[in-house]
Structures are given as C-alpha cells and as structure tokens.
Chain A
Amino acid sequence: MKNNKYYLSMFFFCLSVVVCFGSIENNPGILEDESKLELELYLRTARIVSAIPDEDAGRSEPWRITLSDGKQMLKGWFKHINRVRPHILPDSYKYELAAYELDKLLDFNVVPPIVEREIKGYIGSLQLFVEDCSHLSELKRKKDKILESEKIKADLQEIVVFEILTYCERNIESEKDILIHDTNGKVCRVDFSQAFDTKPHFPPGIEDVKCSAKIQKSLADLSQEKIETALNPFLNEKEISALLARKELLVKKLKQ
C-alpha cells in the first residue's frame, strides 16, 4: 500500500515537472522582436531564479542571472559596482543605463534592453543576456565568413558612431563587447560601465566614420535639451558636455 502511494506521488511529481518545463520556452528569438518595452517589463518583474557572480569575467564583477515569469526563462547580466566620476577609477552600472537611454534617443538599437533593479540587496543594472551570439574578437580571429556580409560590415561601421558618443575605445579587448547573433546577424554592443569619459574628442583608433541616413537624421535631431533630459539621472555635467562636444564633432565629420 505504502509503495503504491510512493509511486503515485512520484508520478504526479514527474508530471508536474514535465508540464512546468514544457510551458517554459527557452530564450526565443529576442533580437528579432523589437518589443523593448515588454522586455524591460520582464527584466523588472520576472522572478530571480538564480544570481551567480561570474568569476571569470572581468573587473566589474557581473552576475549571471536566471529569470522566469512562469512562461519564459531568460538570462540576465547584472552589474552593481557604482563608482562614478570624479572617481579616479570610474566603473558604474549607471553608465550602462545611460548608454541604453542614448541608444533609445537615437533609435540605434544596438544595446540590449537593460533596467535598474535590486537583486540580493544590491541595486544595479540588469541586462538581457543575449544568447547564441559570438563576439567580434573571436570572429575576426577565426576569419569567420559572417564578417564578409555587406550588411554586417555596415552595422559594424555604424557602431563606431555609438562608440564615439559613449567614448568607447575600439581594440581587441573591446571587440569582445561587440556581439553578432549567430543566425540573424544582428549586431549588439555591451559593456558601458566605464564609458562616458569627459574627453571632448573622439576616442583613439577611429579612422573612418560612416552611418545610415536614418542615424544621421537622428543625430541632427538630437538637441542638447533631449540629451540632458534623458541622461541627467545618470551622468554629471562634465560627462554630458563632453558627450555634446563629441556629438558636434561627429555631425561635422559626417557632413564632410
């Protein structure tokens, strides 16, 4: 009799596991669908299933997060260090949030959705972790065919514009922060926690700047007021005025 009960409960347990996991889709094509607001809401409200510091990642101690809202399980990337300028070693999740706001202002669509959230008592930035992608550094090393695509070449060119605005240098290390989706070729740029330097000129290593008419237009439309309103919560005066100076230089350069 006892045994029967045991098997019965085991059966129901297994059934519930199957039902549960069957209904959870694993990371659908996030990048194809541009419903940023939905993803932002998800990042703000989904349950934190696990939060593990990534020992191998670098200095900003990002945490690997698993999220679930009961229907979907997604991965996140969480940073909580908050050393803003004038600190001599700036590194802050606030700059991650600022980059996302700037990306939205320009309608650039290169920064994966990110929100401010508290996890385990730490306030930080929680970004959607983009799966099924490779970083540019690796692809270049392997001389991957995907880099020959004209579309991807143009996208990579265009990202330079965003790197100028945020003052991100382009080198072998930072190319690990440029992600290209394995199947749909969508290009993303992550890791802005040390961005927004107060230098009023282009970061080193920039030769050629080119971008689509659409981006050129959004740059031209980008007023000082818009930038200030959107970025005031995250950047100080000096950081904003350096950003404005770089934007002016950029507009001039693109006109040439």
Chain B
Amino acid sequence: MVQYTKKERSFILKGMTSYQKRVLSFVIFFIAALSLLYPAKKQCIWNGVEKIVSVADIHGDYDKFELILKKTGLIDEELNWSGGKIHLVQTGDIMDRGPDARKVFDLLIRLEEEAEAVGGKVHVLLGNHEEANILGVAFDRVGYVTSGQLVSFLPEKYREKLENQVRENFSNNSNSSFSIDKELKSFWADKIRNDRKTRDEYNKNFKKLYGKWLLSKNVVIKINDIIFVHGGINKSFSSWSLEEINMRTRYEFIQLGMGKRVNLLITYQSNSPLWYRGLINNDEEEYKEEVDKILEDLEANYIVVGHTVRTEGNPAKLSRFNGKVWGMDTGISRYYRGYMSALIIDQGAFKVWEMKDEK
C-alpha cells in the first residue's frame, strides 16, 4: 500500500470538493463496516514441519487428554510444553458428552503460547460439537451438554445462586436419599432439559468466554503434505481452497451469531468438513479414485480426520485407502469407552501411539 505523510494526506483532502469528501468518507465507512463483518484471513498452511502429533475427539475427558500429551512428550509433569518444535493438532470435538471441556480449552490456550515461544505450534481445529455450542443449539440434542460442562460455563454468580438454593432445600429436607453432589447433578440435568433461562445463561457466557478464541480457529489446515480436518473433505469441497473453507465457516458463524440469516454452505450441512463421514464409512475399493481426486485437488498426499468412531481397535486399520486416510477417533473419552491414541508423524513416517488401559 502507498504510504502518505500527514502533509500529503491533508493536501489530497484539500483538493477535493465537499461532495467528493462525502463520497470518500462513505467509501471508507463502507469498507470499515465490511471488514468488521468479514473475518480476517488466518494462516492455514505450514511447511517444513519435522514432527506432528495429532489427537482426535476428546469429548470433555480432560484426564485422558492430559495423559496423552504427557505420554507423547508434549508436556512435562508440571503440564508445561515440552514438545519443542513439534506441532500438536487437535482435530476438533473437545466439547460435549463429558464434563471437562473447559479445562481442556484452558490448557490448550496456555500451551498455544508456550509452544509458539519455542518454535512449536498448537493447532486447535473446530469440530461439529464446537459448531453446535458456538451456534447455541447443543442443548437440542440429548446428551451433548452434561451437567459438568453446563456448570463450568455458567456465569459464576448465576450458578452459585441456584446451587445455594438446592443446598438449602437439601439441608432442610434431610430425608433425601441422595448425597448433595448427586442432588446437584440431577438438579442441573433437569435444567439442561427443561430450563430456557439456564440454557441462555450458558450460551451467553460460553460465547463471552470462549467465542472469540474459537472463532479464531480453523476448520481445515495443511501441514507439509497432510490435511487435518474434523469430519473430512468430500468432492464438493475439495475444489475450494483451505482458506475459503475456513473463511466461509467463520463468516457464517459470525452472521448466525448476530442473528442474521445466511445461506448455509457449511454450517449444519451433512457433507461439510465438520460432519462428512464418507472417508471413513465409504467402501475403499469403490471410492479409491474419488479419494485420489480429492487429494489431488487439495495438493496433498494424506488426510487425517476424527469424528467417526473407529471400532476395529487395531492400529493398522486406523488408516484406509492405502495409508492416505487416517481416521483417528478411537473413542478416547470415557463416554465412548474406546482407547487413548495419537498419530505421530515424524519426518514423514506415520506411527500410531495407543494405550488401552488407564495408566
């Protein structure tokens, strides 16, 4: 862009008629308004990365996530980043089904900085569960928001007020067979299902605390020759650039967040990068050419996804289509009762880390 000095600037304005000035200020205002509505570009392609560790769906299971990071050498006993220049990719679905998504968020927010400081990187991608929470529709589905997650994102004061009422009732009514913890849990479970006010409080506070951070996240990224995305990329999206997918998603979320109707190209679409399951569920023989075409469009050699729980339980089988597609959702969280895993890519070599029993 051309840089003008202060003098030059005032000269340009002086030479203008008041009509021109008005038009100019209108144009500037218009551009400023547009730039507010349209999200800024964010980097989504990295090259020359030596080592990558990718972890799939966590679903509120902080303990397992912490253990995975420790065992793969990304954090030390004090939970500080020890991964050096490694890139950690979390492929979405940190939220729902379990209690501790907020703890996972907070850890990742700290690690983002610590990794960056030593030349490493933490990439948090969006999953369909983040989509549901960002858009405030997570409560519509049974079992998405748990009592643990609910209270963790409620405004402190609101939570305290209601919990004090429950405690009071509980001590006045000592013949209840529940413990107070159980009483609270069932109180919140009931609110999740039936209470509009509590849902609104949650949605508002969630947006206030983590909305901006989440909206800065990508849906899809490429590191070296590997695509990382929550659900997958199908042939309608492979012709888009990664930047277009990320920007469009952000744009739709921002518009919807302001209560505006928008043509939904990505949000809530079953074939979108956040929801698509074809890379894992489609027949390999039948779809191998399509997968090759998708990779060719994306100028990549591999795709790593989560989202669709793999039941095989055999690490060799986590890859499909001749090792080009990796489906890493091994049902890590307590809810899914699968096992802990991570995909480690070291100088181009893929290796699965897994741990079947706790500890």
Q: How far is the CA of A56 from the CA of B282 in the complex (A)?
A: 12
**CB–CB A59/B135 < 8 A:** no
Name 24 interchain pairs, CB-CB below 8 A, sorted by A. Answer: A53-B142, A56-B277, A56-B281, A58-B270, A58-B275, A59-B268, A59-B270, A59-B275, A61-B141, A61-B142, A81-B140, A83-B137, A88-B256, A88-B259, A89-B135, A89-B256, A89-B267, A91-B268, A122-B142, A172-B236, A172-B271, A173-B269, A173-B270, A173-B271
Question: How many B residues touch A, CB cutoff 8 Å?
Answer: 24
Residue numbers in B under 8 Å from A173 (CB-CB): 269-271
What's the nearest-Cβ distance from chain A to residue B24, in Å? Answer: 35
The 8 closest A-B pairs by CB, nearest first: A58-B270, A81-B140, A61-B141, A173-B271, A88-B256, A59-B268, A88-B261, A89-B268
What's the nearest-Cβ distance from chain B to residue A26, in Å? Answer: 26
**CB–CB A89/B137 < 8 A:** yes
What's the nearest-Cβ distance from chain B to residue A50, in Å? Answer: 15
CB-contacts of B250-291 with A (<8 A): 256, 259-262, 264, 267-271, 275, 277, 281
Interface SS of B by simple majority = loop
Instruction: Answer whether residue A55 sits at the interface, using C-beta atoms and an 8 A cutoff.
Output: yes
| Chain B positions near chain A (C-beta within 8 angstroms) | 128, 135, 137, 140-143, 236, 256, 259-262, 264, 267-271, 275, 277, 281, 308-309
Count A-B pairs with CB separation below 8 Å. 38
Residue in A82, A91, A173 whose Cβ sees the most chain B Cβ within 10 Å: A173
CB-contacts of A36-73 with B (<8 A): 53, 55-56, 58-59, 61
CB-contacts of A121-151 with B (<8 A): 122
Q: How far is the CA of A168 from the CA of B256 in the complex (A)?
A: 21
Residue numbers in A under 8 Å from B309 (CB-CB): 55
Q: How far is the CA of A55 from the CA of B256 in the complex (A)?
A: 26
**CB–CB A88/B268 < 8 A:** no
CB-contacts of A82-113 with B (<8 A): 82-83, 88-89, 91
Q: How far is the CA of A81 from the CA of B132 in the complex (A)?
A: 13
Q: How far is the CA of A54 from the CA of B166 in the complex (A)?
A: 35
**What is the chain B residue whose CB lies nearest that of A141?**
B286
Residue in A53, A55, A58, A122 whose Cβ sees the most chain B Cβ within 10 Å: A58
| A88 and B260 in contact, given A55-B309, A58-B275, A81-B141 (Cβ under 8 angstroms) | yes
